[in-house]
Amino acid sequence: MRKAVILLTVVALGLGGCAIGKSRGKALDEFAVARNAPLVIPPDYTLTPPVAGTIGISATDAQSQAIDALFGGPAPRSLTESSILDSAGRDRAPIGARSTAGDPATRVVDKGAATPAIIAAPAGNGQDASAAIPK
């Protein structure tokens, strides 16, 4: 036991002694690793100021341009899909209907336990799907 303690002490002093010979006041220079890139003046794009009296781009135009750039514009709908949407009244839907659907002041019809049972049904491939409505 005593030999193990002496051995551990010698190893600890030996490893700790490696730091004694180095100077502690000398710090590393992080700029010695890589050179700093020189500052570059950006090119002049000669942007013209807006002219008074002309129509600028509105927020809705900018939003539609961004959506078109991201998603490629509105997708063409089939004749069947268009007729279903027309019969469902897509032209009569109030703007912001999705925002008012979750509003606590919105009046909703209680459908009983059928809807929570359908939502809580386990996921599957649909071949053997079934849902039992509690009574």
Whether the pTM exceeds 0.95: the reply is no
CA gap 23, 28 in Å, rounded: 12
DSSP 8-state class, residue 33: T
Note whether 114 and 133 are within 8 A (CB): yes
Note the pLDDT of residue 80.
93
How do residues 51-62 score in pLDDT, each as one tens digit?
Answer: 887 777 676 788
Distance of CA 126 to the CA centre of its chain: 31
Instruction: Summarize pLDDT for 64-99 with one digit per residue, the tens.
Output: 888 888 877 677 888 998 899 889 888 888 777 777
Pairwise CA distance, residues 115 & 118, whole Å = 5
Q: What is the dihedral of CA 17, 18, 20, 25, to 10 degrees?
A: -160
